[in-house]
Structure 1
Amino acid sequence: MSNKIHEMCTLFVGPSLQGIDSKLLAHENLIVRPPIRRGDIESLIEQSPPSNIAIVDGIFHAHPAVGHAEILSALRAGWKIWGLSSMGAIRACEMDILGMKGFGDVYRQFSSDPNMSDDEVTLIHQEQEPFLSISEPMIHIRFFLRHWLNERIITVEQEQSLIHKIKNMWYGYRTLKFLREALLELPVAAEKIDIALKNFSTYRIKSLDLIEFLKLQPWTRTVN
């Protein structure tokens, strides 16, 4: 099998692409597909020789989520499978001992904290391309609040109170609008809040992991 086939990567991605420069996807060895769902990997390995799969985003409500069995079958068939950012990070954490490869900060957080729940990366997004996010995953909100804590804009007590409040609500309600309303209850200037939320992409670590993955292209260095 040629190295060109080995270096191909099928990327299953959706809302984590939000705000990412499209030039990062302009590689002849990269095939971009919508968020993964049950059966996608099975169909892929039936139609193509072994190469690479990168799981980022996935469907789990409207259709069954990608299963462990189909990932394992692909690994046994010689495919390299990467997981990062969102559902991919969860599956990589669950299956790294079986050969799946994890990448990025989100994966490392799941690997280091056995109590980290799946809803940390869950969000509501558009059903069709470009799959823009409607709510924000908890992991982004935590990252934002920790930054504000480190900058001494909020106190530890305020950070923990906001996290408790937002963590205990349905993930679909975790929007920037709600976060703004919650922050306005604190002694923080509205202008400061609005500037921070306007630049919220700085705190979207799921997308930051994906950017790093696309820049480094680690799948091109795992031909064996």
Structure 2
Amino acid sequence: MSNKALEICTLFAGPSLQGIDSQLLCSDGLVIRPPIKRGDVERLVAQSSPSNLAIVDGVFHAHPAVGHAEILDALAAGWRIWGLSSMGAIRACEMDTLGMTGFGEVYRKFASDPDMSDDEVTLIHQSQEPFLSLSEPLIHIRKFLSEWVAVQIITPEQEQHLLHYLKNMWYGHRTLNCLKDALQALPVAAEIIDSALANFSIYRIKNLDLIDFLKLQPWTRTVK
């Protein structure tokens, strides 16, 4: 891989970009593309010299999801590929022994818990830029509820009841308004609920993983 290629990273992302400082997206050599779908990696490899690729968000309904075979072909061709936050974290967990590199808390959760399902990171979002999220991934809500248990706002039993309720719901219906309605059924003051939901971005680990990735810029590091 040439030094010039080392400086380029094509990053497939959409809703995980929400709320990210635009300055982080202005790095030289960083190319932002929409959420990945089947065939995107194959086309990129056919059109470009081996370089760096980061898979963050992906689609799976309107188009087939990014395939394992095309990722393997890209790795074999000399590309460095990271997976994080959402679809990327799932693929990295599945392929981290085959050369793909996982990054961030979401990836670590999938790698350490065989019972983690794809549904944890799934959401609905706008079909066009800026791909704003229209629902909240369960993994974010799980993080939030875990924190509330830790500070004893809710009990572990209440946490499990809420998670069971949300887990059995279609992911598109998991919104902050839905969560608020569920929390209001508990003996928790309204102002505590409102304050927590107004600052919910601190629990959005998909977005936080991407922020860390953009700050660290691992694609600029020399290949060993």
Q: TM-score, normalised by structure 2?
A: 0.98
Amino acid aligned to 1:148: W
Shift of 1:153: 0.6
Give the equivalent residue in structure 2 for 1:133. 133
Distance (Å, rounded) in 2 between the aligned partners of 1:170 and 1:222: 43
| Contact map agreement 2:12 2:36 (CA 8 A) in 1 | yes
Q: Which residue identity does 1:119 align to in structure 2? A: D
1:214 and 2:214 aligned: yes
- Structure 1 residue 61 and structure 2 residue 61: aligned? yes
Residue by residue over 1:18-49, the C-alpha shift from the partner in whole angstroms, topping out at 9 and shown as x without a partner, is 11101101111100000000010011011110
Matches within 5 A, 1:68-217: 68-217=68-217
Aligned to 1:40: 40
Q: Partners in 1 of 2:170 and 2:11 — Cα distance?
A: 28
Q: Which amino acid aligns with 1:157?
A: E
Give the distance between the partners of 1:160 and 1:116, measured in 2 at CA.
15
SS in 2 for 1:102: strand
Tell whether the 8 Å contact from 1:4 to 1:29 is kept in structure 2 after alignment.
Answer: no
Q: 1:3, 1:223 within 8 Å by CA — same for their partners in 2?
A: no
The gaps in structure 2 that reach 5 residues or longer are none
Deviates more, 1:58-67 or 1:2-11: 2-11
Question: Contact 2:7 / 2:28 at 8 angstroms: preserved in 1?
Answer: no
Q: Which residue of 2 aligns with 1:15?
A: 15
**Root-mean-square deviation (Å):** 0.8
Contact 1:55/1:84, CA 8 A, preserved across alignment: yes
What is the CA–CA distance in structure 1 between the aligned matches of 2:208 and 2:167, rounded to whole Å?
22
Superposed CA deviations along residues 44-78 of structure 1, whole A, max 9, x for unmatched, are 01111000000000010000000000000000000
In structure 1, how many angstroms separate the alpha carbons of the residues matched to 2:119 and 2:105? Answer: 16
Aligned residue identity for 2:129? E
Q: Distance in 2 between matches of 1:19 and 1:48?
A: 30
- Is the contact between residue 7 and residue 223 of structure 1 (CA under 8 Å) also seen in structure 2? no
Q: Using the TM superposition, give the Cα deviation of residue 219 of structure 1 relative to its aligned residue in structure 2, in angstroms.
A: 1.4
Distance in 2 of aligned mates of 1:44 and 1:182: 44
Partner SS state of residue 44, structure 1: helix
SS at match of 1:97: coil
**Do the aligned residues in 1 keep the contact of 2:6 with 2:221 (CA within 8 Å)?**
no
Tell whether the 8 Å contact from 2:11 to 2:30 is kept in structure 1 after alignment: yes
What is the CA–CA distance in structure 1 between the aligned matches of 2:14 and 2:29, rounded to whole Å? 19
- For residues 5 and 77 of structure 2, what CA distance do their matches in structure 1 show? 15
Contact 1:134/1:175 (8 A) holds in 2? yes
Calculate percent identity across the aligned residue pairs.
75
Q: How many residues matched?
A: 224
* Structure 1 portions without partners, runs of 5+: none
Q: Within 2, Cα distance between the matches of 1:23 and 1:159?
A: 37
Once the 2 structures are TM-superposed, how far is the Cα of residue 222 of structure 1 from its aligned partner?
4.2
